[in-house]
Amino acid sequence: MEKIIIFRMTENNNHLLFHNKGVPSYYPSNVVGGRIINAMSGVAYDDLVGSKSESNYFRVIEASGRFNHEGFKLPNGCYNPNSNKLFYDSKEEWIRHQKMRKIKVEELYPTSEFDNLED
């Protein structure tokens, strides 16, 4: 009989949040008071997370639970209960990044909603 081990994200096995392998899928900016980091390039800006200058960027909350707090994809069966805050220079940059990650933007937003998104 084959053993199958399934890891689920709980407070008791949060070590899985530190699953870092290769290049992250994105660079999150989760620390209030920390520098804003471009989610696609990893470039840190002088503006701070939580400041009024956040509104100068296109912001996204990634809440799928499939990535740890450093933007690395978690193994199947693992879940991160915390969301990640992502910053982009523009909505177009976010769309390009989703295409690079092979995520269909149309599945995230139906066409009618996507066309009406504000920057």
How many structural domains is the chain composed of? Answer: 1
Whether 70 maps to a domain, the answer reads yes
Residue 47 in domain: yes
Quick check: is 35 in a domain? yes
pLDDT at position 102:
65
pTM above 0.85, yes or no: no
- 39 belongs to a structural domain: yes
CA–CA distance, 95 with 88 (Å, rounded to integer): 10
What single DSSP character describes residue 86? E
- Chain Cα centroid distance, residue 116: 22
At 68-117, the pLDDT tens digits run: 899 988 888 888 899 999 999 999 999 888 887 666 555 555 555 445 55
User: Cα dist. 116→79, 91, 110 in Å?
Assistant: 31, 12, 10
Query: Domain limits at 32?
Result: 11-90
- Asked if residue 85 belongs to a domain, the reply is yes
